[in-house]
């Protein structure tokens, strides 16, 4: 039988993500509702949409392998280890600056600032661009969601035209004078067309801060609502990296992904015909009691928290996972060490996107009133 299947089973999600008989879902896949496909065909102007090829997120091998190879090293263990000091410096500075704002919105004033600063530095973009990058990120995030209202989609596409123009000019400069940064890696060697370069630059930029912002926000909300767990972290700072894994497991920002069977596949007692769509609930998998005992318990000491699927798995598994983990542990530790009495100043405001579990705003008080 063809059609759409959904699973929240951890082993099955992991298996499908790692199974080369399944490929990525293109935006015009026939199993997607007609209006979505129509919208895509009406607006695919070759803009660097992160949810469309040639963004590596939605490209199968062999092109995917080519794109990922060009930038993989910059996000590998060696490269990320060298960033520890810089991430700490930026986080400490942001935490200090918060002191002039006793009732901050932690999303705007803290969570967005660290990831955008770091990814801009990795990509080699000037810091004068931060507010523009945040604006592009805000309008671009919905493009990873299917079934958007037309007005949201059109707004995102308008901003993408700016992204296209900016990177096109920027890459002209880099081609003439390459630097020691990730975007220069994309232009050297004549391996990628300009369209491939721009699409993957836009993906690295958006993926590089959007989800990390939300991991930090979700972490702040979880820790302030579980003071016993926060106390464990502040008493034993070596727990912060595991606390970040547990935050990602318990409330990871990306709820779902999907794959298409490239051929007929028999799996988990199901016959999946070529072309069928399988939706994989990453949030459901991370809540699977067969892998995570008592999954509704938020436990920063959980032994296997790091086995979560919040970063996906397999060949499309998150390229920036190491960076996100580093930013999470450093930023949350810096924030709660400097403001041990930090509390929420009213309920956090949820992000309207369905596939991104996140907050748009977290009003807070830095010290007890
Ligand atoms: C907490 C933060 C993050 C989360 C939860 C997250 C989540 C994910 C997930 C679930 C995927 C796989 C999607 C799929 O298979 O359909 C993915 C892919 C990706 N992520 Fe992240 N991500 C995060 C941070 C980052 C950062 C900091 C970067 C920096 C560059 C990044 C870059 C990417 C890229 C380039 C891909 C596509 C990889 C490929 O297709 O080969 N991500 N991410």
Pocket test for ligand 1, best of 24, 73, 211, 286 (most atoms within 8 A of CB): 211
| Residue 42: predicted pLDDT | 65
Which CATH number goes with the domain that contains 16?
1.10.630.10
Distance CA 322, CA 77 (A): 7
Residue with the bigger pLDDT between 144 and 306: it is 306
pLDDT tens for 326-343 read 999 999 999 999 999 999
pLDDT digits (tens, 9 = 90+) for 42-99: 666 678 888 889 999 999 999 999 999 999 999 999 999 999 999 999 999 999 999 9
Residue (of 127, 158, 125, 157) closest to 143 by Cα position:
157
Give the whole-angstrom CA distance, residue 306 versus residue 244.
9
Q: How many domains does the chain have?
A: 1
Structure tokens at 356: 């991104």
Domain that holds residue 287: 4-365
Q: Which atom of ligand 1 is nearest to the CA of 214?
A: 1
E strand or H helix at 173: helix 150-176
For residue 367, what pLDDT is reported? 85
Distance CA 172, CA 154 (A): 27
Q: Which residues contact 181 (CB under 8 A, 6 or more apart)?
A: 122, 123, 124
Distance 304 CA to ligand 1 centre (A): 21
Candidate from 201, 213, 318 with most ligand 1 atoms within 8 A of CB, to mutate? 318
């Amino acid at each position: 039988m063809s059609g759409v299947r959904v699973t929240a089973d951890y082993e099955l999600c992991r298996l499908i993500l790692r199974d080369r008989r399944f490929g990525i879902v293109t935006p015009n896949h026939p199993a997607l509702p007609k209006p979505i496909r129509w919208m895509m065909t009406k607006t695919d102007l070759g803009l660097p949409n992160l949810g469309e090829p040639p963004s590596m997120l939605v490209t199968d091998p062999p092109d995917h392998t080519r794109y990922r190879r060009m930038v993989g090293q910059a996000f590998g263990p060696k490269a990320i280890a060298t960033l520890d000091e810089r991430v700490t410096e930026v986080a400490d500075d942001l935490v200090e600056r918060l002191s002039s704002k006793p009732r901050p919105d932690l999303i705007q004033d803290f969570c967005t600032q660290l990831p955008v600063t770091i990814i801009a530095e990795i990509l080699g973009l000037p810091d004068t661009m931060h507010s523009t990058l945040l604006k592009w990120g805000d309008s671009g995030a919905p493009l990873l969601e299917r079934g958007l209202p037309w007005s949201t989609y059109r707004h995102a596409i308008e901003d993408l035209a700016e992204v296209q123009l900016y990177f096109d000019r920027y890459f002209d400069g880099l081609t003439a004078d390459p630097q020691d940064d990730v975007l220069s890696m994309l232009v050297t060697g004549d391996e990628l067309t300009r369209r491939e370069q721009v699409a993957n630059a836009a993906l690295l930029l958006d993926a590089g801060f959007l989800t990390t912002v939300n991991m930090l926000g979700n972490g702040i909300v979880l820790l302030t609502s579980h003071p016993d767990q926060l106390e464990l972290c502040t008493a034993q700072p070596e727990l912060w990296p595991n606390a970040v894994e547990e935050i990602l497991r318990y409330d990871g920002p990306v709820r779902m992904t999907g794959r298409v069977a490239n051929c007929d596949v028999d799996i988990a007692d199901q016959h999946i015909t070529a072309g069928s769509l399988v939706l994989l609930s990453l949030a459901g998998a991370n809540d699977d009691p067969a892998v995570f005992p008592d999954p509704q318990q938020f436990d920063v000491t959980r032994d296997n928290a790091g086995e979560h699927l919040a970063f996906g798995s397999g060949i499309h598994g998150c390229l920036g996972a190491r960076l996100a983990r580093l930013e999470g542990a450093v930023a949350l530790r810096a924030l709660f060490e400097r403001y041990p009495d930090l509390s929420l100043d009213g309920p956090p405001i949820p992000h309207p996107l369905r596939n991104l579990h996140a907050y748009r705003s977290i009003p807070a008080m830095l010290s007890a009133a």
